[in-house]
Amino acid sequence: MTSMVKKAIEIVGNNNFNAVFNKGYYKTDEIHKTQQLGVTTHVCVPNLTSTSPNPDYNVSEFKYNKEQDNYTCPEGQTLIQMTDAMKKEDIE
């Protein structure tokens, strides 16, 4: 991405523009280098959705509990990480 930004600076003759990076298609050092060139950078983050046929179970409907580092589903069930589940002997 930095090489494209450098080329854009060369073409327009200045660095007075914004560069937009798509989430997942950049490296953080590229954003830093672009900012060092004096170009304002933005990262486009898409809305959280899921492929669930029931919109009640879209990712946005799950609540994160920072203190316990887990999520609660729309039905009120706490989701645990698989590594935690593997440590418990009473899991069927």
DSSP letters, 12-77, are HSS--SEEEEETTS--HHHHHHHHHTT-EEEEE-PPP----SSGGGSGGGSEEETTTTEEE-TTSP
Give a yes or no: residue 33 inside a domain. Answer: yes
Does position 88 have pLDDT exceeding 60, yes or no?
A: no
pLDDT band for position 6 (50/70/90)?
very high
- 5-28: average pLDDT: 87
If one counts the domains in the chain, the total is: 2
Nearest to 41 by CA among 81, 5, 79: 5
Give a yes or no: residue 50 inside a domain. Answer: no
What pLDDT is stored for residue 29 in this prediction? 86
Give a yes or no: residue 77 inside a domain. Answer: yes
DSSP annotation of 6: H
Task: Dump pLDDT digits (tens) for 35-86.
Answer: 999 999 888 766 656 566 787 888 888 899 889 888 999 999 998 776 655 5
Give a yes or no: residue 49 inside a domain. Answer: no
The pTM score is 0.48
Which residues is 79 bridged to in the sheet? 71
Q: How far apart are CA 8 and CA 20, in angstroms?
A: 13
Does position 31 have pLDDT exceeding 60, yes or no?
A: yes
Residue 7 sits in the same domain as residue 39: yes
Residue 38 sits in the same domain as residue 9: yes
* Boundaries of domain holding 30: 2-44
Q: How far apart are CA 40 and CA 34, in angstroms?
A: 8
